Amino acid sequence: MSYLTDAFQPHLRLTLLRVLAEAPGYCTNSSILHQAVNSMGLRASRDQVAAELAWLAEQRAIETAEPAIGLIVATLTNRGHDVQSGCSTLPGVQKPSPGR
């Protein structure tokens, strides 16, 4: 992996968790997540977002469902909330900056 990839993935994962923390009911779909992370300057493809959602689900930071082919609904778990707020850490997810 390149330095950029090494820095990008943990940052993308944290951003996905943060977007979910702001979503009503801590839940939204992969299309909205893709739009949100791209609007924050993280140029991620839909495939990258889907791959990171799968990784976060494996880590129990989110729960996912696929109500239609290619559409993933992600819901933040208590663990994911703790990670995005800095109360706990998860290797592979960037630690949030203080005050965020």
Distances (CA, A) of 18 to 5, 12, 52, 62: 20, 10, 14, 12
Give the tokens for residue 88: 């706990």
User: Using CA atoms, how far apart are residues 44 and 52, in angstroms rounded to an integer?
Assistant: 10
Q: What structural domains and CATH numbers belong to the chain? A: 3-85 (1.10.10.10)
pLDDT tens column, 40-83: 999 999 999 999 999 999 999 999 999 999 899 999 999 999 99
Query: Is the per-residue pLDDT at 1 higher than 60?
Result: no
Give the neighbor-by-neighbor strand order of the sheet with 71-76.
27-29, 71-76, 62-68
Query: Is the per-residue pLDDT at 99 higher than 60?
Result: yes
